Amino acid sequence: MSVIALAGCSGAPGVTTSALALLLTWPIEPGRRMILAECDPDGGAVLHGLLQGTLGDRYGLRNLSVASRKGELVEAFWRQLIDLSGDEGTVEAPGDRLLLPGVTDPAQTAGLGPAWESLADLFVGIGSQPVNAHDVLIDLGRSGAFGPSAVLAQRADAVVVVVRNTLRCLQAAQARVEALEERVGDIGLLMIDEGPYPAGEVQRVLRVPVVAKLPYAPKEATVLSDGAKQPRHFTKTALMKAARTSSALVAQRVAMRRARLAPRYAGPAGGQVTHAR
Protein backbone atom coordinates (compact mmCIF):
# COMPACT_ATOMS: atom_id res chain seq x y z
CA MET A 1 0.00 0.00 0.00
CA SER A 2 2.64 2.55 0.93
CA VAL A 3 6.30 3.39 1.25
CA ILE A 4 6.98 6.48 3.35
CA ALA A 5 10.38 8.09 3.81
CA LEU A 6 10.99 10.20 6.92
CA ALA A 7 13.81 12.72 6.68
CA GLY A 8 15.25 15.28 9.06
CA CYS A 9 17.52 18.26 9.29
CA SER A 10 19.83 19.73 11.88
CA GLY A 11 18.25 20.96 15.09
CA ALA A 12 17.56 17.52 16.64
CA PRO A 13 14.12 16.95 15.09
CA GLY A 14 13.75 13.36 16.40
CA VAL A 15 13.26 11.40 13.17
CA THR A 16 13.86 7.95 14.65
CA THR A 17 11.66 8.54 17.69
CA SER A 18 8.89 9.81 15.42
CA ALA A 19 9.33 6.82 13.11
CA LEU A 20 9.02 4.39 16.02
CA ALA A 21 5.89 6.16 17.26
CA LEU A 22 4.35 5.85 13.80
CA LEU A 23 5.40 2.20 13.49
CA LEU A 24 3.76 1.27 16.78
CA THR A 25 0.51 3.11 15.99
CA TRP A 26 0.18 2.65 12.24
CA PRO A 27 -3.33 1.52 11.16
CA ILE A 28 -2.49 -1.95 9.86
CA GLU A 29 -5.02 -3.39 7.45
CA PRO A 30 -5.97 -7.09 7.68
CA GLY A 31 -3.43 -9.26 5.89
CA ARG A 32 -0.72 -6.58 5.93
CA ARG A 33 2.34 -5.89 8.05
CA MET A 34 4.38 -2.79 8.82
CA ILE A 35 8.16 -2.47 8.52
CA LEU A 36 10.40 0.31 9.81
CA ALA A 37 13.75 0.33 8.02
CA GLU A 38 16.52 2.37 9.67
CA CYS A 39 18.43 3.63 6.64
CA ASP A 40 20.23 6.57 8.22
CA PRO A 41 23.77 6.63 6.76
CA ASP A 42 24.99 8.22 9.99
CA GLY A 43 23.98 5.16 11.99
CA GLY A 44 20.88 3.62 13.51
CA ALA A 45 19.66 4.20 17.05
CA VAL A 46 17.09 1.53 17.89
CA LEU A 47 19.39 -1.42 18.68
CA HIS A 48 21.12 0.47 21.45
CA GLY A 49 18.23 2.82 22.25
CA LEU A 50 14.79 1.22 22.47
CA LEU A 51 16.26 -2.32 22.55
CA GLN A 52 19.05 -1.42 25.00
CA GLY A 53 21.63 -3.59 23.23
CA THR A 54 19.81 -6.80 24.15
CA LEU A 55 20.24 -8.25 20.65
CA GLY A 56 23.81 -7.08 20.07
CA ASP A 57 24.64 -6.31 16.46
CA ARG A 58 23.46 -9.59 14.96
CA TYR A 59 20.66 -8.07 12.90
CA GLY A 60 20.44 -5.09 10.65
CA LEU A 61 21.21 -3.18 7.51
CA ARG A 62 24.95 -3.79 7.66
CA ASN A 63 24.42 -7.49 7.00
CA LEU A 64 22.80 -6.77 3.62
CA SER A 65 25.87 -5.38 1.86
CA VAL A 66 27.43 -8.79 1.13
CA ALA A 67 24.05 -10.29 0.27
CA SER A 68 23.44 -7.50 -2.21
CA ARG A 69 26.72 -8.19 -4.03
CA LYS A 70 25.74 -11.87 -4.27
CA GLY A 71 22.27 -11.06 -5.58
CA GLU A 72 20.71 -12.47 -2.40
CA LEU A 73 19.42 -9.29 -0.80
CA VAL A 74 15.73 -10.21 -0.86
CA GLU A 75 16.27 -13.50 0.93
CA ALA A 76 18.69 -11.97 3.44
CA PHE A 77 16.40 -9.03 4.16
CA TRP A 78 13.74 -11.10 5.90
CA ARG A 79 16.31 -12.71 8.20
CA GLN A 80 17.40 -9.30 9.49
CA LEU A 81 14.02 -8.15 10.79
CA ILE A 82 13.12 -7.89 14.48
CA ASP A 83 9.55 -8.23 15.70
CA LEU A 84 8.33 -5.17 17.62
CA SER A 85 4.68 -6.23 17.72
CA GLY A 86 2.62 -5.77 20.86
CA ASP A 87 3.17 -7.82 23.98
CA GLU A 88 1.14 -10.87 24.86
CA GLY A 89 -2.49 -10.03 25.48
CA THR A 90 -2.77 -7.52 22.64
CA VAL A 91 -4.82 -8.09 19.53
CA GLU A 92 -1.78 -7.91 17.28
CA ALA A 93 -0.36 -11.00 15.64
CA PRO A 94 3.36 -11.72 15.87
CA GLY A 95 5.18 -10.07 13.00
CA ASP A 96 2.69 -7.25 12.50
CA ARG A 97 5.27 -4.52 13.25
CA LEU A 98 8.85 -5.19 12.18
CA LEU A 99 12.18 -3.41 12.38
CA LEU A 100 15.24 -3.49 10.13
CA PRO A 101 17.92 -1.99 12.42
CA GLY A 102 20.39 0.45 10.92
CA VAL A 103 24.16 0.34 10.75
CA THR A 104 25.94 0.59 14.10
CA ASP A 105 28.92 2.49 12.67
CA PRO A 106 28.72 5.09 9.87
CA ALA A 107 31.81 3.45 8.33
CA GLN A 108 29.61 0.45 7.49
CA THR A 109 27.59 2.61 5.11
CA ALA A 110 30.39 2.59 2.53
CA GLY A 111 29.71 -1.06 1.74
CA LEU A 112 26.03 -0.41 1.07
CA GLY A 113 26.49 1.60 -2.12
CA PRO A 114 25.13 -1.07 -4.50
CA ALA A 115 22.40 -2.07 -2.05
CA TRP A 116 20.40 1.18 -1.93
CA GLU A 117 18.83 0.70 -5.37
CA SER A 118 18.02 -2.92 -4.57
CA LEU A 119 16.44 -1.91 -1.27
CA ALA A 120 14.33 0.71 -3.05
CA ASP A 121 13.11 -1.98 -5.46
CA LEU A 122 12.36 -4.32 -2.57
CA PHE A 123 10.41 -1.73 -0.58
CA VAL A 124 8.29 -0.74 -3.58
CA GLY A 125 7.69 -4.40 -4.40
CA ILE A 126 6.55 -5.53 -0.98
CA GLY A 127 4.35 -2.47 -0.70
CA SER A 128 2.57 -3.27 -3.95
CA GLN A 129 1.63 -6.91 -3.50
CA PRO A 130 -2.13 -7.57 -3.16
CA VAL A 131 -1.49 -10.50 -0.77
CA ASN A 132 0.99 -10.65 2.13
CA ALA A 133 1.92 -7.05 1.50
CA HIS A 134 3.76 -4.63 3.75
CA ASP A 135 3.73 -0.92 4.39
CA VAL A 136 7.23 0.46 4.82
CA LEU A 137 8.53 3.39 6.86
CA ILE A 138 12.08 4.44 5.97
CA ASP A 139 14.07 6.38 8.54
CA LEU A 140 16.59 8.43 6.53
CA GLY A 141 17.83 10.50 9.46
CA ARG A 142 19.34 13.90 8.78
CA SER A 143 21.41 13.03 5.70
CA GLY A 144 19.87 9.96 4.09
CA ALA A 145 17.62 11.87 1.69
CA PHE A 146 20.77 12.98 -0.14
CA GLY A 147 23.76 11.08 -1.46
CA PRO A 148 23.70 7.38 -2.51
CA SER A 149 20.74 6.53 -0.24
CA ALA A 150 18.59 9.30 -1.78
CA VAL A 151 17.06 6.75 -4.15
CA LEU A 152 14.97 5.56 -1.18
CA ALA A 153 13.33 8.97 -0.96
CA GLN A 154 12.99 9.29 -4.72
CA ARG A 155 11.16 5.96 -4.99
CA ALA A 156 8.91 6.42 -1.96
CA ASP A 157 5.20 7.13 -2.24
CA ALA A 158 5.62 10.07 0.10
CA VAL A 159 8.45 11.95 1.80
CA VAL A 160 7.79 13.56 5.17
CA VAL A 161 10.31 15.89 6.79
CA VAL A 162 10.37 15.97 10.59
CA VAL A 163 10.79 19.50 11.97
CA ARG A 164 10.40 21.27 15.27
CA ASN A 165 8.60 24.60 15.34
CA THR A 166 11.52 26.44 16.88
CA LEU A 167 13.38 29.25 15.16
CA ARG A 168 16.63 27.28 15.11
CA CYS A 169 15.08 24.23 13.51
CA LEU A 170 12.99 26.19 11.00
CA GLN A 171 16.03 28.13 9.83
CA ALA A 172 17.96 24.89 9.42
CA ALA A 173 15.05 23.27 7.60
CA GLN A 174 14.48 25.91 4.93
CA ALA A 175 17.33 24.99 2.60
CA ARG A 176 16.90 21.26 3.25
CA VAL A 177 13.17 21.29 2.49
CA GLU A 178 13.66 23.34 -0.68
CA ALA A 179 16.40 21.06 -1.98
CA LEU A 180 14.43 17.94 -1.16
CA GLU A 181 11.29 19.24 -2.85
CA GLU A 182 13.30 19.88 -6.01
CA ARG A 183 14.56 16.28 -5.94
CA VAL A 184 11.42 14.33 -5.08
CA GLY A 185 8.54 16.70 -5.72
CA ASP A 186 5.63 16.84 -3.29
CA ILE A 187 6.69 16.55 0.36
CA GLY A 188 5.00 17.15 3.70
CA LEU A 189 6.00 18.00 7.25
CA LEU A 190 5.62 16.18 10.55
CA MET A 191 5.85 18.93 13.16
CA ILE A 192 7.15 18.35 16.67
CA ASP A 193 5.30 20.98 18.68
CA GLU A 194 8.14 22.28 20.86
CA GLY A 195 8.29 25.94 19.91
CA PRO A 196 6.00 28.96 19.64
CA TYR A 197 5.11 28.84 15.94
CA PRO A 198 1.73 27.37 14.89
CA ALA A 199 1.41 24.97 12.00
CA GLY A 200 0.16 27.71 9.69
CA GLU A 201 3.29 29.78 10.28
CA VAL A 202 5.53 26.73 9.74
CA GLN A 203 3.77 26.07 6.44
CA ARG A 204 4.19 29.70 5.40
CA VAL A 205 7.92 29.72 6.20
CA LEU A 206 8.77 26.36 4.64
CA ARG A 207 6.12 26.53 1.87
CA VAL A 208 5.06 22.91 2.27
CA PRO A 209 2.08 21.54 4.22
CA VAL A 210 2.17 20.28 7.79
CA VAL A 211 0.67 16.82 7.38
CA ALA A 212 0.62 15.87 11.06
CA LYS A 213 1.84 16.95 14.50
CA LEU A 214 3.37 15.27 17.53
CA PRO A 215 3.66 16.90 20.96
CA TYR A 216 6.99 17.73 22.50
CA ALA A 217 6.99 15.08 25.24
CA PRO A 218 10.61 14.30 26.20
CA LYS A 219 9.74 11.97 29.09
CA GLU A 220 7.47 9.83 26.95
CA ALA A 221 9.85 10.03 23.99
CA THR A 222 12.71 8.50 25.99
CA VAL A 223 10.77 5.24 26.08
CA LEU A 224 11.24 5.05 22.31
CA SER A 225 14.60 6.79 21.96
CA ASP A 226 16.44 5.25 24.92
CA GLY A 227 14.41 2.31 26.13
CA ALA A 228 13.31 4.06 29.33
CA LYS A 229 10.77 2.25 31.47
CA GLN A 230 7.29 2.60 30.08
CA PRO A 231 4.87 4.55 32.25
CA ARG A 232 1.50 2.98 32.98
CA HIS A 233 -0.86 3.13 30.03
CA PHE A 234 1.93 4.28 27.72
CA THR A 235 -0.22 3.67 24.65
CA LYS A 236 -2.68 6.24 26.01
CA THR A 237 -0.13 9.00 26.59
CA ALA A 238 -0.37 12.25 24.67
CA LEU A 239 2.55 11.24 22.46
CA MET A 240 1.09 7.91 21.40
CA LYS A 241 -2.42 9.28 20.97
CA ALA A 242 -1.04 11.97 18.67
CA ALA A 243 1.08 9.37 16.86
CA ARG A 244 -2.04 7.33 16.18
CA THR A 245 -3.75 10.37 14.67
CA SER A 246 -0.61 11.30 12.73
CA SER A 247 -0.29 7.79 11.35
CA ALA A 248 -3.82 7.95 9.98
CA LEU A 249 -3.20 11.38 8.42
CA VAL A 250 0.06 10.28 6.80
CA ALA A 251 -1.62 7.11 5.52
CA GLN A 252 -4.37 9.20 3.93
CA ARG A 253 -1.84 11.44 2.23
CA VAL A 254 0.12 8.47 0.96
CA ALA A 255 -3.01 6.79 -0.43
CA MET A 256 -3.82 9.88 -2.51
CA ARG A 257 -0.30 10.17 -3.88
CA ARG A 258 0.15 6.45 -4.49
CA ALA A 259 -2.98 6.46 -6.63
CA ARG A 260 -1.02 8.60 -9.09
CA LEU A 261 2.00 6.28 -9.18
CA ALA A 262 2.34 3.16 -11.31
CA PRO A 263 3.81 0.02 -9.72
CA ARG A 264 7.51 -0.25 -10.58
CA TYR A 265 8.40 -3.60 -9.13
CA ALA A 266 6.75 -6.97 -8.79
CA GLY A 267 9.32 -8.84 -6.71
CA PRO A 268 8.61 -11.37 -3.94
CA ALA A 269 6.89 -10.15 -0.83
CA GLY A 270 6.95 -13.35 1.20
CA GLY A 271 9.23 -14.33 4.00
CA GLN A 272 9.04 -15.33 7.60
CA VAL A 273 10.28 -13.42 10.62
CA THR A 274 11.37 -15.49 13.57
CA HIS A 275 13.30 -12.93 15.62
CA ALA A 276 11.57 -11.40 18.62
CA ARG A 277 12.43 -8.57 20.91
pLDDT, residue 89, reads 34
Measured from the Cβ of residue 232, the count of other Cβ atoms closer than 10 Å reads 6
Amino acid at the residue 176? R
Lowest mean pLDDT among 21-30, 185-194, 260-269: 260-269
> 83: helix, coil or strand?
strand
Q: Tens of pLDDT along 136-164?
A: 999 999 999 999 999 999 999 899 999 99
CB atoms within 10 A of CB 245: 14
Q: Is residue 107 pLDDT above 80, yes or no?
A: yes
Is residue 222 helix, strand or coil? helix
pLDDT at 94 over 80: no
- How high is the pLDDT of residue 87? 47
Q: Under a CB-based contact definition with an 8 Å cutoff, are residues 3 and 140 in contact?
A: no
b/e burial code for range 101-114 (CB count within 10 A of at least 16 → b): bbbbeeebbeebee
Does 95 score more than 60 pLDDT? yes
For residues 235 and 231, give the distance between their C-alpha atoms in angstroms, rounded to a whole number: 9
| 23-71 pLDDT tens trace | 999 998 888 899 999 999 999 999 999 998 888 778 899 889 888 888 8
CA pair distance 277, 54, nearest whole angstrom: 8
Domains of the chain: 3-36+116-258 (3.40.50.300)
